[in-house]
Amino acid sequence: MTKKERAEWIHSYLEKIYPETPIPLTHDSPYTLLVAVLLSAQCTDLRVNSVTPELFNLADTAEKMVKLSAKKIETIVRPCGLAPKKSLAIHQLSNILLADYNGEVPKNMDLLERLPGVGHKTASVVMSQGFGYPAFAVDTHIHRLAQRWGLTNGKNVIQTEKDLKRIFPKKTWSKLHLQIIFYGREY
């Protein structure tokens, strides 16, 4: 079986077992999605979803978030781990969104990646799940499965992302990203 045939089979199989791909992080705007994804670094979605209701009840916009101190944010997000860094990043990016983007999350990968605490994967998730742009956010789980399935021999997530984007049609990226994550969690 060629790599292309294997990729088609994998895509077909994932479509059968995960025809629906709900977004795992609870959010109601691109801003709350951005904060939730930032909090999900080295943390489970379940834990993030247990923490964000309290945070978003106090501040679900950049304007409201900057009114909280970084210390107050830290107290709330502590269960997610790395709380001092994450809370400071949330506070700083909220200030930047207010100052430079009228409080709105920019619909641009490069601009997103310039925000504190926002890396390529976080920006990809926001572009895909928040704005509907095709993106293939590769985390360690997707990287591991892509290697196991023989779809990449990339040594890092950057190379794996490039390989997967070459193999799979662009229109499938956003859903397929979630399908692979769901598969990795279940199996």
d(CA 133, CA 136): 10
State how far the alpha carbon of 105 is from the alpha carbons of 54, 56, 89, 98, 110, in Å: 21, 16, 14, 9, 12
**Of 107, 164, 161, nearest in space to 132 by CA:** 107
**Of 5, 11, 23, nearest in space to 130 by CA:** 23
Please, are residues 36 and 25 in contact by the beta-carbon 8 Å criterion?
A: yes
d(CA 154, CA 161): 9
Tokens of 89: 């990043």
Catalytic residue among 16, 72, 121, 175: 121
Decide if 100 is catalytic: no
Decide if 3 is catalytic: no
Sign of the dihedral defined by the CA atoms of residues 100, 28, 177, 132, in that order: negative
d(CA 179, CA 35): 22
Catalytic residue among 139, 155, 162, 175: 139
DSSP one-letter code for 79: G
> Which are the catalytic amino acids?
121, 139
